[in-house]
Amino acid sequence: MHELSIATALAESLLDYSKEHKVKITCAHVKAGILSGIDPEALQFAWEPALENFPDSGLENCRLAIKMALLKHRCQNCGKEFEFDTWRMECPECGKESLHRESGNEFLLESIEVENV
């Protein structure tokens, strides 16, 4: 299952961080582009089973907050930036078909909430 391996990899990197900085991570905020292929419900569903791979790690109660990101576009004609939920070509500003897609495949850990231990 795709999302379980993503969740497990994410939990691993959180665990490394928490060990290195001696903190307990209580919530991880991630951002997924809508072209990343990530299903947010499946990822949320996979989070708890992923954490079960790391017993007594301090991560047991860590929550996962998933935000889906729209597609950023930049117009190569007028330079304006836009966000859409689908890939578009035509610039709403200048009307030229010169939009360039700049994001959409990303999967990023945006921020974490921590408690000192």
Residues that bind Zn ion (CB under 5 A): 75, 77-78, 91, 93-94
Compute the least distance from the CB of residue 106 to Zn ion, in Å: 23
**In the complex with Zn ion, which residue's Cβ is closer, 44 or 77?**
77
Q: How far apart are CA 96 and CA 115, in angstroms?
A: 50
Q: Please report, for the chain, how many H helices and E strands are present, in that order.
A: 2, 6
In the complex with Zn ion, the residue whose CB is nearer, 13 or 76, is 76
Angle at 31 between CA 91 and CA 64, to 5 degrees: 155
Nearest approach in angstroms of CB 27 to Zn ion is 38
Q: How far is the CB of 112 from Zn ion (least distance, A)?
A: 37
